Chain A
Amino acid sequence: MNTLHILGRIAINSVERLGRAAMFLYEVMLGSWELVRRFYLVVQQVYAVGVLTLLIILVSGLFVGMVLGLQGYNTLVKFGSANSLGLLVALSLVRELGPVVTALLFAGRAGSALTAEIGLMKATEQLAGMEMMAVNPVTRVIAPRFLGGVLALPLLTALFSAIGVMGGHLVGVGLLGVDAGAFWSQMQNGVDFRDDIMNGVIKSVVFGVVVSWIAVFEGYDAVPTSEGVASATNRTVVYSSLAVLGLDFILTALTLGEV
């Protein structure tokens, strides 16, 4: 009886929370329209979540590309098709690794910071203070952070993939002696703009919305104590990572259309 009781409570709580998150997203979207007039608020957040995340994205992208070059070369050379290295590196980066790894890093670096910031604002009653001054905190605080994340993640993903291809080129052509012409021509023949690159861009936009949504909601919904903020930050990273990986499978299955 007790177990059933707990199970029921967990189910009701999580459905209620999901509902609140959806209502919150709707509110944030409404608030986003009003930001057209005060775009500087969004620019500030693009700086906070985009420019300041640049270093980790560029370094990881470079190394992921270099590792792909090394690993791919060792496998491909067994089949005598080391010339396809460029194709392998570009396709894995553009279709999968770029959007997913960037979103995971983004959740860890920027998402957690967003949650902690908003949660602390709530804990120190800054959000309540704004409401007292007839300023809507959703429009003033939440929506710019959400939009900033949504705008920044696709750009970060493009940078990650581009520098990853450079890293693969560095290792493949510079270190392992794959022919530079074959590296690029195989890549250009095999990578399609609509099927592969746009697929990655769509993924990164979806991930941007989901990760930013989870981050701002967890912050806004945090229990206003230091413990509450800590666990909200923790949940942001865990939930957004799970959401990114799960959605990645669904999006891949949808775009490949072979499931």
Chain B
Amino acid sequence: MINRKSLEVWVGLFVAAGILALAMLAFKVGNLTSADVMNSYKVTGRFDNVGGLKVKAAVTMAGVRIGRVSAIAFDNKKYQALVTMDIDGRYQIIPKDSSASILTSGLLGDQYIGIEPGGDDASLKNGDSFLRTQSALVLEKLVGQVIFNKAGESAPAK
């Protein structure tokens, strides 16, 4: 039987390694560090169609992630989707007349919100909303449009 001291050393090593592995999973594999929602502020935007946008999708500006989508609801007065975004408190510099559009990363990738900065000196505060938005591109509609246009081109040529 192994003596008491080296047994305790081994168990200590084992526990430390286990906790270290969990910490590595949390910080290196997971996104615990980037989940900075402590001092974030909320802005909203109304979209005609959010497509496949999901809660927790990224909100980016110039391609850099500055926040995430916190809620998607349906506004039954305006028949639009109301998207609430949590923006990192470090970026309180989004001009008031910025526009938000729903974009897709890659051809089949996730959808996210990209913000194009405007030129206004005043910036968005907690609870404000984007005045200009652009909906998600729905691939089926796009394909339908192309087919429709093609048909329209070829029909009068006969």
Contact = CB atoms under 8 A, between A and B. Distances in A.
19 contacts: A43-B7, A46-B14, A46-B15, A47-B7, A51-B11, A81-B108, A154-B18, A156-B18, A158-B18, A159-B17, A162-B29, A165-B25, A184-B28, A188-B30, A189-B31, A189-B58, A196-B30, A197-B26, A201-B22
Interface in B1-20: 2, 4, 7-8, 10-11, 13-15, 17-19
B29 A94 contact: yes
B92 interface: no
A127 to B, nearest CB: 20
B24 interface: yes
Given A154-B18, A197-B25, A47 B2 contact: yes
A94 B11 contact: no
Interface string A155-166: 110110111010
B71 interface: no
Interface bracket on B: 20 to 34
A104 interface: no
B145 interface: no
B126 interface: no
Contacts of A163: 21
Interface in B80-123: 106, 108
Contacts of B132: none
B18 A197 contact: no
Given A90-B29, A188-B29, A191-B31, A158 B11 contact: no
A interface SS class = helix
Interface of A: 40, 43-44, 46-47, 50-51, 54, 79, 81, 90, 94, 152, 154-156, 158-159, 161-163, 165, 184, 187-189, 191-193, 196-197, 201
Which of B18, B28, B32, B106 is the most central at the interface, judged by chain A CB atoms within 10 Å of its CB?
Answer: B18
A206 B31 CA distance: 24
Contacts of B35: 193
A44 B4 CA distance: 9
Contacts of B14: 46-47, 50-51, 54, 152, 155
Given A43-B7, A47-B2, A158 B29 contact: no
A192 B35 CA distance: 9
Indicate the member of B4, B14, B24, B108 with the most A CB atoms within 10 Å: B14
A159 B18 contact: yes
Contact of A51 (B10, B21, B22, B31): B10
A181 B44 CA distance: 32
B21 A159 contact: yes
A59 B24 CA distance: 18
Contacts of A192: 30-31, 56
Interface string B60-73: 00000000000000
A162 B11 contact: no
Contacts of B19: 155, 158
A197 B21 contact: no
